[in-house]
Structure 1
Amino acid sequence: MNSSEFYEFLSGRSSVREFSPEEVSDEEIEFIIRCASAAPSAGNRESWDVVIVTDESIKEDLSDAAFGQEHLITAPVILAVCANYVRSMSQYGERGILYGIEDASIACTYMMLAAHSAGLHSCWTGAFDDEAVSEILDLPQHARPVALLAVGKGKMPHKKTGRMPVLEHIHNDTW
């Protein structure tokens, strides 16, 4: 894949909030998570974990914890990506908290791109009550939910959002 093809691949992905009821196969989920395991991580600690949610009542509870976001109910699968602080803090102490969040964020990004490459659609959901999600998913104390990634076959057409000009993000040498 050349750089032009890579850019087209990246820009062809967008968040989708309407899903068909078609299931996501176990093989597709395994592929998505296998791709996430290729993500870089601080000290190669891989301080992330994922809870695979397909149970309808749990998805409804997650939607409630995410302030009523309906796509968390209609998506066939939710990948709850969590920072696992034990792995990163064992090497980096307090700084490991940040590294765990970064590792989980990068892994979730890889999951979105893997879903896209498999012909699936996704939506990263970050607006939720952390404590409620932790309780719903029975997360251990050392894990923090970072993203709820809705995955499935998107209902088309989905609208592509505009982007800021790249130059508005750039600062040379100093801000």
Structure 2
Amino acid sequence: MESSEFLGFLKSRSSIRSYTGKKISREEIGYLLEAATTCPTAGNREAWDLIVCQQEDLLEALADAAFDQQFIREAGTVIVICANYVRSMSRYGERGILYAVQDATIAGTYMMLAAHALRYATCWIGAFDEDEVRELLGIPQHARPIGLLLIGEAREQAGSPERMPPHEHLHEDFW
């Protein structure tokens, strides 16, 4: 793939909040997991875990836990991305908490792009009641849910939002 094609691929992805309810297949979930396992990770600790949710009652409960974001119910598939502190802290101590969150976030990003390559719509949800999600899914204390990744067939396409010009993010040598 040429660099311009890659940039076009990235620019063509946007967060979708309207889904048909179609679930992704086991094979497609396997593809996303395989993509996630290729991501960079602090000390190769792979300090992340995933919970794939496709049951309607779970999607409803996740929508409620995400401050009533009802479109979550329509996604068909929600992958709850968790930072696994134990894997990272066993090597890095307290700093491992940050590394686990970074590892999980990068894994989620890789899965989001892999889903886009499969022509599925995605949306990263960070606004949710962490304790409610933890209890609902039986997430142990050494892991933290950091994101809900919605994956499904888009009901309608969204345009790309306005973005800051790249140079506004850049500082050279010093802030």
Shorter-chain TM-score tier: over 0.9
Please report how far the alpha carbon of residue 24 of structure 1 lies from its aligned counterpart in structure 2 after TM superposition. 1.1
Aligned pair count reads 175
Partner Cα separation in structure 2 for residue 83 and residue 153 of structure 1: 27
1:1-44 Cα offsets, whole Å, 9 max, x none, are 11101100111111111111222111111111110011100000
Residue 147 (structure 2) pairs with residue 147 (structure 1): yes
Partner Cα separation in structure 2 for residue 36 and residue 168 of structure 1: 30
Residue 75 (structure 2) pairs with residue 75 (structure 1): yes
1:115-134 superposed matches below 5 A:
115-134=115-134
Partner Cα separation in structure 2 for residue 14 and residue 33 of structure 1: 21
CA contact (8 A) 1:53 1:78 kept: yes
Equivalent in the alignment of 1:25: 25
Unaligned ranges ≥5, structure 1: none
**Counterpart amino acid of residue 152 in structure 1:** G
SS of match in other structure, 1:28: helix
Unaligned ranges ≥5, structure 2: none
Consecutive aligned runs of 4 or more in structure 1 exceeding 6 Å deviation: none
CA contact (8 A) 2:81 2:147 kept: yes
Equivalent in the alignment of 2:136: 136
SS of match in other structure, 2:133: helix
SS of match in other structure, 1:50: strand
What's the RMSD between the two structures over aligned residues?
0.8
Equivalent in the alignment of 1:172: 172
TM-score by length of 1: 0.98
CA contact (8 A) 1:62 1:72 kept: yes
SS of match in other structure, 1:10: helix
1:55-104 Cα offsets, whole Å, 9 max, x none, are 11111111111101112111000000000011000100110000000000
